[in-house]
A and B are shown apart, each in its own frame.
Chain A
Amino acid sequence: MYKIKLEHFEGPLDLLLFFIKRDEINIYDIPISKITKEFLDYVNLIKFLDLETAGEFILMASTLMHIKARMLLPKEYDEKGEVIDPRADLVKALLEYKRYKEMSEELSFFESAQRKISFRGNFSQDVSNPPDDFETLLGNVSVYDLAKVFKRVIEGIKNKPVHQVKKISVSISEQIDFIFKKLEDIHQIHFISLIEGIKQKIIVVVTFIAILELVKSKRIKIQSSDNYNDFLIIKT
């Protein structure tokens, strides 16, 4: 058997074309069972190497086997009464592929010729297109340099204080309800004990505004208490 480097084949169609040309097969009369067998040998080989690529080859292998099975069945006829060759679609696909494969060779000659000439601004492209291989990209960077940078980045993250902004939702009417609820059982309450347990400044402020609002509408009275730092809220 020939040794074949798989990376030289761009896909199942490419491999089939190779078999056909190598064995000087008439493409319109492909010995399907021989080709299928050879093809399967290679599929089995690459299955272990590269599953993703193998998938496409396995698909082709199953197409080949399907054709092989149809060849064994009684002949099929189209509307015109002509025999349908089960291989026809495959042959069409092979030839179509071959057309473009040939053109890719043409392009490759253009490429070769073109690589030999330089235009004005040639060197500015060196800067704008950084090399894509690791050797050149990494230059003299050693693994220790990378570790050093990594350490600095990690430490930088740790020291950064985190501020979180929480939205506190409170309204005057809510606080009015809150005050009346407090005053439900008892007739009067000290401001300090009213706001006891409230942790956010903004709620204390809104509560105070609610008190002013209630005083204005004469629904409560306020009175200075013995403690000068406090006052008394009295239900009217």
Chain B
Amino acid sequence: MSNFYKSVIEALIFSSDEPLSDSEIIRTIKGIDGEDAEISNQNVSDIIAELNTEYSDSGRSIRIVNIAGGYLFATKEEYSKYLGFLSNEKSKRRLSQAALETLAIIAYKQPITKPEIESIRGVNSDYIIASLLDKKLITISGRAETIGRPLLYSTTKEFLIYFGLSNIKDLPKPREIEEIMQDEDFIEQKNRIMMNAIEELVEKEDQENGSENKN
């Protein structure tokens, strides 16, 4: 029976563009086979782990990831070059430093108002907030009960998907100020950023070479 449900779960996840949660999977199975169908959250996560083992053992290019509170089929990193070539690479442009910075503040302090964001960043953030709203990475989640009842912003499910997080709690904890003071890793961090930039450059070149071949 467990093997049968394994196939059912595989089919359900395969058919979905959106992350499919444990509870949706269980509800679907119980909806068909009745309330006493023997399936639990633990079963589901075990089955997913089994499926992933099978995929990797047989050298498949796909796996099931746990993202934004649900399961989703995803390709493995190794094939990103080929997929990028086929899809419209432009729509996968990276976020700017300012956008990442603003997102980080919203992610950790949500719900948060624009004035609070601006007081941390020290710069006007109208444009950045508008563009993050536009990309659906953040949303308006209400109004603060302070003077002027300013809008409150929070991150969205799209945010979790974009950064590959299962839950907002999966974000690494920001370091305490005392810790920051003790380290000397600023140079190292700059290097890491440089590495990212280089990686992007290489990707771009790859793509350009690719386009030439295509033509």
- Name the A residues within 8 Å of B164 (CB-CB): 110, 113-114, 117
- Name the A residues within 8 Å of B80 (CB-CB): 115-118
CA distance A8 to B103 in the complex (A): 18
Q: A117-B75, A123-B87 are in contact. Are A111 and B121 (CB under 8 A)?
A: no
Q: Does B98 contact A (CB under 8 A)?
A: yes
- Name the B residues within 8 Å of A104 (CB-CB): 97, 100-101, 103-104
Nearest chain-B residue to A103 (Cβ)? Answer: B104
Query: Chain B contact residues: over half helix, strand or loop, or mixed?
Result: helix
Contact between A119 and B72, CB atoms less than 8 A apart: yes
Contact between A123 and B97, CB atoms less than 8 A apart: no
Q: Does B138 contact A (CB under 8 A)?
A: no
Nearest chain-B residue to A93 (Cβ)? Answer: B122
- Name the B residues within 8 Å of A125 (CB-CB): 87, 91
Contact between B172 and A120, CB atoms less than 8 A apart: no
Contact of B90 among A96, A107, A119, A133 (CB under 8 A): A133
Contact between A118 and B91, CB atoms less than 8 A apart: no
Q: A12-B122, A108-B193, A115-B92 are in contact. Are A102 and B175 (CB under 8 A)?
A: yes
Contact between A117 and B123, CB atoms less than 8 A apart: no
- Name the A residues within 8 Å of B74 (CB-CB): 117-119
Q: Does B105 contact A (CB under 8 A)?
A: yes
Within 8 A of A (CB), among B23-58: none
Nearest chain-A residue to B18 (Cβ)? Answer: A121
* Distance in Å: Cβ of B102 to nearest Cβ of chain A: 8
- Name the A residues within 8 Å of B172 (CB-CB): 103, 106
Within 8 A of B (CB), among A82-138: 93, 95-126, 129, 131-133, 136
Nearest chain-A residue to B88 (Cβ)? Answer: A126
- Name the A residues within 8 Å of B211 (CB-CB): none
Contact between B186 and A21, CB atoms less than 8 A apart: yes
- Name the A residues within 8 Å of B161 (CB-CB): 119
* Distance in Å: Cβ of B211 to nearest Cβ of chain A: 12
Contact of B174 among A102, A122, A133 (CB under 8 A): A102
- Name the B residues within 8 Å of A93 (CB-CB): 119-120, 122
Q: Does B153 contact A (CB under 8 A)?
A: no
- Name the B residues within 8 Å of A61 (CB-CB): none
Contact of B83 among A96, A101, A122, A136 (CB under 8 A): A122
- Name the B residues within 8 Å of A95 (CB-CB): 177, 180-181
Tell me the total A-B contact number using a CB cutoff of 8 A.
144
- Find the residue from B16, B177, B187 having the highest chain A CB count within 10 A: B177
Interface size on A, as a range, is: 35 or more
- Name the B residues within 8 Å of A12 (CB-CB): 122-123
Q: Does A230 contact B (CB under 8 A)?
A: no
- Name the B residues within 8 Å of A52 (CB-CB): 124
* Distance in Å: Cβ of A101 to nearest Cβ of chain B: 6
* Distance in Å: Cβ of B139 to nearest Cβ of chain A: 17
Interface string of A36-48 (1 = CB under 8 A from B): 0000000000000
- Name the B residues within 8 Å of A11 (CB-CB): 121-123
Q: Does B199 contact A (CB under 8 A)?
A: yes
Contact between A105 and B189, CB atoms less than 8 A apart: yes
Nearest chain-A residue to B81 (Cβ)? Answer: A116
CA distance A60 to B177 in the complex (A): 22
Nearest chain-A residue to B159 (Cβ)? Answer: A107
* A–B complex contacts, Cβ < 8 Å, 8 sampled: A100-B108, A103-B174, A107-B100, A108-B100, A110-B164, A111-B162, A117-B164, A122-B87
> Other CB < 8 Å A-B pairs besides A102-B189, A108-B94, A109-B192, 7 of them?
A95-B181, A103-B107, A107-B163, A110-B165, A112-B196, A126-B88, A131-B90
